[in-house]
């Protein structure tokens, strides 16, 4: 499965299980998101079974921008063999 196919599949699964789209999840998270004075985030995710849409304020997340990650919106899943995280 290609990265694009996986992204489509995981976003479809999230929508089916949560009843909301990824766009709606982002809107809801923005309403509750708190970034404290140290840069820690609170209220930064919505989870549906083992799939989570979240925002991170960490510029070094998953190795940072040089690895295609860093601050931003993500969708991830967890499983017995690890999981995958995709930047949205």
Domain boundaries, the chain: 3-67+76-87
Residues paired with residue 82 on neighbouring β-strands, in sequence order: 79
Phi first, then psi: what are they for 6, rounded to 5°?
-65, -45
pTM (predicted TM-score): 0.87
Tens digit of pLDDT at every position of the chain (88 positions): 788 888 999 999 999 999 999 999 999 999 999 999 998 899 999 999 999 999 999 999 999 999 989 999 999 998 766 678 899 9
80-86 — which CB contacts under 8 Å span 24+ positions? 83/50, 84/6, 84/10, 86/3, 86/6, 86/7, 86/10
**DSSP per-residue codes, 3-41:** HHHHHHHHHHHHHHHHSS-HHHHHHHHHHH-EE-TTS-E
């Amino acid at each position: 499965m290609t990265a694009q196919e996986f992204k489509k599949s995981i976003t479809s699964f999230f929508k089916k299980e949560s009843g909301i789209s990824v766009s709606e999840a982002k809107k809801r998270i923005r309403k509750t998101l708190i970034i404290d004075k140290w840069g820690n985030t609170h209220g930064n995710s919505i989870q549906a079974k083992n799939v989570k849409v979240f925002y991170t304020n960490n510029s070094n997340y998953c190795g940072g921008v040089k690895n295609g990650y860093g601050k931003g919106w993500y969708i991830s899943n967890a499983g017995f063999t690890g999981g995958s995280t995709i930047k949205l």
